[in-house]
Amino acid sequence: MRLLITGGCGFIGSAFVRLALARGAEVTNLDKLTYAGNPKNLAEVEGDPAYRFVHGDIADADAVRAAIGDGADAVVNLAAESHVDRSILAPAEFPRTDVVGTTVLLHEARTAGIERFVQVSTDEVYGSIESGSFTETDRLAPSSPYSASKAGGDLQALAWHHTFGMSVVVTRGSNTFGPRQYPEKLIPLFVTNALDGQPVPVYGDGMQVRDWISVDDHCTGIWTALERGEPGAIYNIGGGYEATNLDITRRILDLTGRDESLIEHVADRPGHDRRYSLDSSRLRALGWAPTAAFADALVATVGWYRDRRDWWEPIKSGEYRRYYEAQYGRGSASS
């Protein structure tokens, strides 16, 4: 199978590129290398003859055509602006990549005769749920500029199925964690701050609930949807491990040998969704199931960040410091 994967230098994208190569696919990775795109994430596949990198923007039709080259069997779109807090600080890039970019990619894929298109989306398009779990037929009610942009991308992708009969599948994954996640998201931010003995900024009361999934389980879910998903269908991909942010924080402090004195309750995120929870039975019916136990995957993740300061210390400088100052009102906690 020849795959065009976008956003392959990011957190989930790089894990998905590795999975696709391991499963025998030929991979072209189209990535703009934004602040979140890191070629080091794919250092070990660079010499692989089945792997090709194209530096470019999914919103640029010429770049997409260059990446498609003489064809592909499927596109898996993981390229996105992906962080809620940045979408609140500086929203403009979000619809540009997540809606317009997705639209350009769909159009170029169809023009090139590529039938299959997997749009990698998020549970955040459903908004917040007090009890029970979201199913794929629930209405879209995104709360943040990020999730509203992702919802726009989902709707474009589904319209390509409805209007043109393209074999589109949309996946909606839950909060994902593991190695190589940019240290702006909860788990890698708190792990790296804690390793450095710096405060961990908990928004509001910290009782918000997220449904956590390991990056490897998220990727096998996307793979299952790619191979076996019904055209036009949406598939939730939830890990099923629900915990409050304070629970996660305490586990991280414990695993890094720190105590709760590092917890700093800071102003809540505007429009903060209280709880996410996914019902993934539709994907499970295709034979997928998450395999990682949350506690084991968190231990492995903390171990990775402990061993790989060479990966995250250079990130926590430059642009990151400016972001941290704007978001948290003080200098970067590390390096």
Q: Which residues are catalytic?
A: 123-124, 146
d(CA 216, CA 305): 17
202 lies in the site for ligand TYD, by CB under 6 A: yes
Burial class (CB in 10 A: 0-12, 13-18, 19+), 74: buried
37, 201, 221, 240: which one binds ligand TYD (CB under 6 A): 201
- Binding of ligand TYD by 208 (CB under 6 A): yes
Residue 275 in contact with ligand TYD, rule: CB under 6 A: no
Does position 32 bind ligand NAD by CB under 6 A? yes
> Strand 175-177 to strand 209-214: parallel, antiparallel, or no bridges (unpaired)?
parallel
Restricted to residues 7-26, the positions that interact with ligand NAD (CB under 6 A) are: 7, 9-13
Is the Cβ of residue 118 or residue 262 nearer to ligand NAD in the bound state?
118
Least Å from the CB of residue 88 to ligand NAD: 15
Residue that has been written with the tokens 């710096």 in this structure: 198
- Cβ distance 15 to 39 under 8 Å? no
d(CA 160, CA 104): 11
Q: Which residues 6+ apart lie within 8 Å of 157 measured at CB?
A: 77, 102, 106, 117, 119, 168, 170
For the bound state, the minimum distance from the C-beta of residue 38 to ligand NAD, rounded and expressed in Å, comes to 7
Q: Nearest CA to 218 among 29, 2, 43, 14?
A: 14
62 Cβ partners below 8 Å, 6+ apart?
56
Q: Is 214 in a helix, a strand, or coil?
A: strand
Closer Cβ to ligand TYD, 43 or 267, answer by number: 267
Stretch that binds ligand NAD, among 170-178, 254-262, 277-285, 311-319 (CB under 6 A): 170-178
- C-alpha 79/C-alpha 62 separation (Å) is 16
User: Is 142 near ligand NAD (CB under 6 A)?
Assistant: no
Site for ligand NAD in 59-118 (CB under 6 A): 59, 78-82, 97, 101
Closest approach of ligand NAD to the CB of residue 67, in Å: 9
C-beta closer to ligand TYD: residue 210 or 282: 210
Contact between 278 and ligand TYD per CB under 6 A? no
Q: Does 213 bind ligand TYD (CB under 6 A)?
A: no
Backbone angles phi, psi at 189, to 5 degrees: -65, -45
Q: Write down the residue that tokens 């619809």 correspond to.
A: 95
Residue type, 20: A
Site residues (CB under 6 A) for ligand TYD?
84, 124, 175, 185-186, 189, 201-203, 208, 210, 245, 269
Contacts with ligand NAD by CB under 6 A lie at: 6-7, 9-13, 30-34, 36-37, 57-59, 78-82, 97, 101, 120, 122, 150, 173, 175-176, 182
